[in-house]
A and B are shown apart, each in its own frame.
Chain A
């Protein structure tokens, strides 16, 4: 038999083996397909400039001039939005999610007669606003103010307007002085600037914590397959004690991961030229969120480990599930880049709950109304996972 025929026989055998390996098939086909599906929806609006809608906005008019009132009224009439009385009301609306952006027209907005000043405009943005949407709002406000300036100049020039404008340089008289200030809600509430590291540490910490499924499944499946689990039972150890022991050990491991991530964010990132992680966090909220996230991560890992028969199976299922959950939750694609429907879906993923709570804590302005429901959801999810893990552990005749 020549080498070519042997190679073909081996190739045929490889295909047969592959066909009978569901874990490998899932890793090769199912996981990329699921990931593609999620990412296609998550990034639906981020790579195109078509259909970028103006955000739903609210206006707070602090400038007493009639022009400010007229301008904002025209805007709301033609482009939508609402008017609010105070900054506090605007902040509340942004936090509640009833508006995505706020436009504050500060006192002194109309400087010289008929000349609005961009540096007297503040844009307040929610965490969830799509960057392109915010950019469109900013551009349209600037354009609208330019129109006001032109109208003002023309009105001031009277019948000689054309002579005046022909002699003017392209920017003369049209450029609004300064630029509008743009602040995100968390910057307003925490008094700090948002940095990439402040966003990234909680997101990737959560991702890492949920990957505890790999070592946990390795141990549990080995114990089950070689009879050690059954032997522990004959030593008088109950399944709930086995589960509890693993929960404690792997939650402790999550805390070690947390420590490492904090060290990287605090010291390594700035050492390489990035921003330092701000660590003056509210300790109680921080500990509560880490605990709930960890319980949820280990609970899910136990559920997967207890219901799979081989390490390959657990690694494929656990790894794939984590990647898809992370994509859904806004860890891989920031939620503001997702379309609204995907943002709603991500509200219902455990990593999404963890991300919402953790980011509130890491951004320094945790709000009980936001954090407590997320903590409760995470703990309920952990409890459900643990309950569903107990049953297969009790069935040693699997």
Chain B
């Protein structure tokens, strides 16, 4: 996926031949999936419902282990995951949530303070630190969800549909955050169903369907197509070409 970038960035993670099948399922959720990620790269992870996006993210963040294949990391990158759900404690204030999660990290007290201050500032949460999360708007909760991920100061940030249910202002804000993070050298995997978001923010695209990689590469090259298909008017046309129109379970 990164092989065609003009200025090679340092590779962070290489996955090869990944396979994962859930119990009581007859077909694998992922089958022979391979890709690589480089620092400073934003990869759009696209696919219909049930295509294997979340499973792939779980293999990258260590929640699951591949049944075949491997995920090799260069060095020991810090991987942070921002799930689609609001994965924090709604009865706690935003500040208490951040304080709790940062306290789980094996870092010094000074570093904890600095990271807290940084994420509160980066996600514009100053005026909500004393408010219970359940009393915050959807946009603030999305920002808090991402802020908790950023506390880990990740080398690789895995975002699973981070803009579901937010207003356009919050969406633009979150996309800016993703770009900034990549500019600071982190790799970002951005799983989404919103094609316009992927076009706006991603350098690379990986389209999954039925647990397999349908196509991957940099966006301009993919849109040009090849001798068999393309060119494509936009990412949605490319996506529909590879995943077809049939409805999924």
Contacts and interface: CB of A to CB of B under 8 A. Distances in A.
Interface stretch (B57-65, B162-170, B173-181): B57-65
A227 interface: yes
Most buried by B among A225, A232, A235, A237: A235
A236 interface: yes
Contacts of B148: 231
Interface stretch (B9-17, B30-38, B99-107, B240-248): B99-107
B79 interface: yes
Interface in A186-227: 225-227
A179 interface: no
B88 A228 contact: yes
B86 interface: yes
Contacts of B79: 234
A235 B84 CA distance: 17
Interface string B104-135: 11100000000000000000000000000000
A225 B90 CA distance: 13
B87 A230 contact: yes
A146 B167 CA distance: 93
A217 B104 CA distance: 23
Interface residues of B, number: 22
A172 interface: no
A228 B87 contact: yes
A237 B63 CA distance: 12
Given A234-B80, A234-B81, A235-B152, A228 B63 contact: no
Interface in A222-258: 225-228, 230-237
Interface string A339-365: 000000000000000000000000000
Where chain B touches its partner, the secondary structure class is loop
A396 interface: yes
Given A230-B63, A397-B64, A236 B87 contact: no
B152 A226 contact: no
A235 B61 contact: no
B53 to A, nearest CB: 15
Given A233-B63, A234-B62, A235-B152, A227 B106 contact: no
A230 B22 contact: no
Interface string B62-90: 11100000000000000111011111110
Nearest to A396: B63
Contact of A235 (B83, B85, B105): B105
A57 B109 CA distance: 71
Contact of B83 (A230, A236, A237, A397): A230
A35 to B, nearest CB: 33
A231 B84 CA distance: 11
B88 A235 contact: no
Nearest to B83: A227
B135 to A, nearest CB: 16
Interface of B: 22, 58, 61-64, 79-81, 83-89, 101, 104-106, 148, 152
20 contacts: A226-B86, A226-B87, A226-B88, A227-B83, A227-B84, A227-B87, A228-B87, A228-B89, A231-B81, A231-B87, A233-B62, A233-B63, A234-B61, A234-B79, A234-B81, A235-B101, A235-B104, A236-B106, A396-B64, A397-B64
Task: Give the 10 A-B CB pairs with smallest separation, nearest first.
Answer: A227-B87, A227-B83, A231-B87, A227-B85, A226-B85, A235-B104, A228-B87, A234-B81, A234-B61, A230-B63
